[in-house]
Amino acid sequence: MAMSGPAEGTAAEPGRTEPFYGAHQSGITSGTQGHTILAAFDLAADSDREDILALLQDWTSLAAALTTGGAVSIPALQTSSPERADVVEDSPRTDSLEADGLGPQRLTLAVGFGRSFFRSADGSGRFGLGMRLPPALVELPQFEGDALDRTQSDGDLLVHACADDLQVAFHALRSLDRVAPGIATLRWTQAGFSPGDGGGTPRNLLGFKDGTMNSNLHPPGDLEATLWAGPEGPAWMHGGTYLVYRRIRMKLESWDSLERGEQEQIIGRRKVDGAPLGQPDEFSPLDLSGLDAKGNWWIPPTSHVRVASPEVNDGALIVRRSFSYVNGTTSEDSSSGPSQALEYDAGSLFLGYQKDPRTSFVPIYSKLSLVDELRRFTTHTASAVFALPPGASGRGDWLGRRLFT
């Protein structure tokens, strides 16, 4: 196993470090950092188990070193292919240094496996792992209103970096990418941002607090029951979780034209303080049967929080961790020519973690996609599901080890 670790250059700075080793991967229940980058990789068709093992070992030891804020030395990948060995041996081994002196910045790094890691589109197994595909690692159904860009969706492997500094997160991703030549190539990347968790629940681009209930900041009580995979699935996933990623574009121009009261009816919470309608403050419980003076439900029947809440979804829960994104501007209808007004391609990177998407994301979003009033202002444009194995327990252990042993 090629080890990496803090090398020459900057010593790790104290504080602002998120623990990397542990029973679960970091960046799931951690606080919300200011920046995120998601990157999906596809494995070369001629990669084999040894290549993938070496890659996961190197990613784990590199990630452990990067999260301490120290400089890293990029190890040579142990590849079974003579052609690739040349590429790998020739690559420079030193830290690229763009994060030099920036410190750990609460950097978290998580790694996940997509369905296509285990099986090809025709159902045949890959890398001898076809039978180890976890049943919970489902292909999502086509939901009402989906407009997915497949080039920005799915993937064999996920690397998810979060940090309070974008350059630190990007450096971490690039460092992992630099040990993957010929084995795994980037399929898509997506950057996002958040006001972070320093000033209370962060606001999304609709201007509402997002993360008050059932989120990484305010998780549900029993995470073993809702978040962490257990004995109901394969042993190698115990302590892991399943991530559903959705890039959700917001029609900000239309949203901005609504009165605040109309926006609040659509969400079901007050904009200024995040309180559920009819309740005094942000953390008051939702009162789904509460009536206003006219006898109408305070929280309207098709409002987002009512339709998403566990009370109306047979208790189905999801742990959310959301960031915003801005991918510039785009013309809604390019056939209309250059005079067509540009609109923002901006919205939310929805990250929903659960022990089984079949009983969490799928039923909740099946209903939301049909009923939620917010759907008039949002379009899902990218999607992926990844199995995030349990954390690495310490030096010498590596992410995904139990899948291969």
Interface ranges with ligand HEM (CB under 6 A) = 204, 206, 208-215, 246, 248, 250, 267, 269, 286, 304-305, 308-310, 318, 320, 347-348, 350, 352, 361, 364-365, 368, 378
Instruction: Name the token pair of 133.
Output: 């595909």
Measured from the CB atom, the residue of 23 and 272 that comes closer to ligand HEM is: 272
- DSSP characters for 60-97? HHHHHHHTTT--B-PPPP--S-HHHHHHHHHS--S---
Burial class (CB in 10 A: 0-12, 13-18, 19+), 211: buried
170-196: string of b/e by CB count within 10 Å (b at 16+)?
A: bbbbbbbbbbbbbbbeebbebbbbbee
Shortest distance in whole angstroms from residue 307 CB to ligand HEM? 9
Shortest distance in whole angstroms from residue 382 CB to ligand HEM? 12
Residue of 388, 399, 404 lying closest to 59 (CA atoms)? 399
Shortest distance in whole angstroms from residue 268 CB to ligand HEM? 7
> In this structure, what are the phi and psi dihedrals at residue 307, rounded to the nearest 5 degrees?
-70, -30
Angle CA(360)–CA(237)–CA(160) in degrees, nearest 5?
Answer: 75
Measured from the CB atom, the residue of 7 and 346 that comes closer to ligand HEM is: 346
Burial class (CB in 10 A: 0-12, 13-18, 19+), 71: buried
Measured from the CB atom, the residue of 286 and 399 that comes closer to ligand HEM is: 286
- The 3-state secondary structure of 10-54 reads CCCCCCCCCCCCCCCCCCCCCCCCCEEEEEEEEECCCCCHHHHHH
Shortest distance in whole angstroms from residue 5 CB to ligand HEM? 39
Q: Which amino acid is at 213?
A: M
Measured from the CB atom, the residue of 28 and 267 that comes closer to ligand HEM is: 267
Burial class (CB in 10 A: 0-12, 13-18, 19+), 78: middle
Shortest distance in whole angstroms from residue 45 CB to ligand HEM? 33
Shortest distance in whole angstroms from residue 101 CB to ligand HEM? 36
Measured from the CB atom, the residue of 12 and 326 that comes closer to ligand HEM is: 326
Burial class (CB in 10 A: 0-12, 13-18, 19+), 376: exposed
Shortest distance in whole angstroms from residue 385 CB to ligand HEM? 13
Measured from the CB atom, the residue of 352 and 391 that comes closer to ligand HEM is: 352
Measured from the CB atom, the residue of 164 and 372 that comes closer to ligand HEM is: 372
Instruction: Name the token pair of 89.
Output: 């041996």
Measured from the CB atom, the residue of 49 and 376 that comes closer to ligand HEM is: 376
Shortest distance in whole angstroms from residue 348 CB to ligand HEM? 4
